[in-house]
């Protein structure tokens, strides 16, 4: 494990953006691209690719655009089962990562302008981002940075049975984390519409296991977590340092699992992400 710089599964906002039933039928069987541009840069100095949590979508990161400088291109991953991919079945963490890596490596899609690549993922997104980093490494395109948030380290993932729970239990557990507004959490029709995709995301998260011979990354890894997050054990998150032989930094943030979703959380997180991308020193936070 590299030297740690101490600065001292994944649930959701309702961002699946379900289309009307007629629209989803029309799109059935049609695969959209995985990586969407939220804000383009003609000559980017860095490209930040964001991976949503379970139930999240590209909309999870739309508000980051205003906080980033113009030279940072902002992209986000659209998983199957939401938005214009609502009719598609979500897949495993590794399968999703392989598809994303293919687009980022230029074997499909149109993301070809050269720029240092950074991956940021929250909760389920942290695991998909990690597997994407491995796939890019194997293709000779390892990212410059891996930034993860709100997830146990790959070799410390302990599974879980929430994806097997009865609908009401699953819904109440998820909404209890604070990722839903009250009027959404209490909407039975919307719940029935969103539950299948949410359950599929949770299945991908809770059944994920890393490949035993994955090997190490060489890029810096930065791990964020909310101090009051009931889904992660901050004392065990140093395990993310074992996925790389590069620098590792562990950074606690105020709040719970969705610590970055309000304006205050984003205002604190995004500048730290930018500092990491630029290599600037970041003030040391209090111990975990």
pLDDT per position as a tens digit, 212-251:
999 999 999 999 999 999 989 999 999 999 999 999 999 9
Closest alpha carbon to 79 in 207, 210, 197, 199: 197
Handedness of CA 130, 135, 137, 142 (dihedral sign): negative
Does the pLDDT at position 255 exceed 50? yes
Handedness of CA 86, 92, 96, 98 (dihedral sign): negative
| Highest mean pLDDT: which range of 24-28, 107-111, 252-256 | 252-256
Mean pLDDT, to the nearest integer, of 83-88?
Answer: 89
- Between 11 and 154, the more confident residue is 154
Is residue 120 within 8 Å of 52, Cβ to Cβ?
A: no
Does the pLDDT at position 14 exceed 70? no
pLDDT at 130: 98
pLDDT band at 29 (very low <50, low <70, confident <90, very high): very low
pLDDT band at 36 (very low <50, low <70, confident <90, very high): very high
pLDDT at 286: 36
pLDDT at 10: 43
Show which residues are catalytic: 123, 257
Does the pLDDT at position 83 exceed 80? yes
Distance (Å, whole) CA 137 – CA 171: 37
Distance (Å, whole) CA 244 – CA 214: 11
pLDDT band at 25 (very low <50, low <70, confident <90, very high): very low
- Between 259 and 155, the more confident residue is 155
pLDDT tens per residue, range 113-148: 678 999 999 999 999 999 999 999 999 999 999 999
pLDDT band at 158 (very low <50, low <70, confident <90, very high): confident
Does the pLDDT at position 67 exceed 80? yes
Does the pLDDT at position 273 exceed 80? yes
């Amino acid at each position: 494990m590299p030297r740690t710089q101490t600065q001292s599964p994944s649930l959701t906002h309702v961002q699946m953006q379900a289309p009307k039933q007629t629209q989803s039928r029309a799109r059935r069987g049609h695969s959209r691209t995985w990586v969407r541009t939220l804000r383009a840069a003609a000559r980017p100095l860095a490209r930040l690719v964001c991976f949503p949590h379970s139930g999240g979508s590209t909309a999870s990161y739309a508000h980051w655009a205003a906080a980033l400088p113009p030279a940072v291109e902002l992209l986000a991953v659209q998983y199957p089962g939401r938005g214009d991919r609502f009719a598609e079945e979500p897949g495993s963490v590794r399968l999703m990562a392989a598809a994303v890596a293919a687009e980022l490596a230029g074997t499909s899609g149109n993301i070809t302008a050269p720029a240092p690549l950074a991956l940021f993922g929250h909760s389920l997104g942290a695991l998909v981002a990690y597997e994407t980093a491995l796939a890019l490494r194997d293709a000779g395109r390892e990212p410059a940075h891996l930034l993860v948030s709100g997830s146990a380290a790959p070799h410390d993932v302990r599974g879980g049975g929430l994806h097997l729970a009865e609908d009401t239990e699953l819904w109440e557990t998820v909404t209890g984390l604070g990722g839903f507004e009250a009027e959404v959490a209490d909407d039975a029709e919307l719940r029935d519409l969103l539950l299948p995709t949410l359950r599929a995301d949770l299945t991908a998260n809770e059944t994920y296991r890393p490949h035993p011979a994955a090997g190490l990354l060489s890029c810096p890894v930065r791990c964020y977590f909310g101090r009051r997050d009931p889904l992660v054990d901050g004392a065990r998150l140093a395990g993310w340092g074992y996925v790389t032989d590069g620098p590792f930094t562990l950074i606690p943030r105020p709040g719970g699992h969705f610590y970055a979703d309000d304006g205050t959380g984003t205002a604190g997180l995004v500048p730290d992400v930018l500092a990491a991308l630029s290599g600037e020193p970041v003030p040391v936070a209090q111990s975990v």
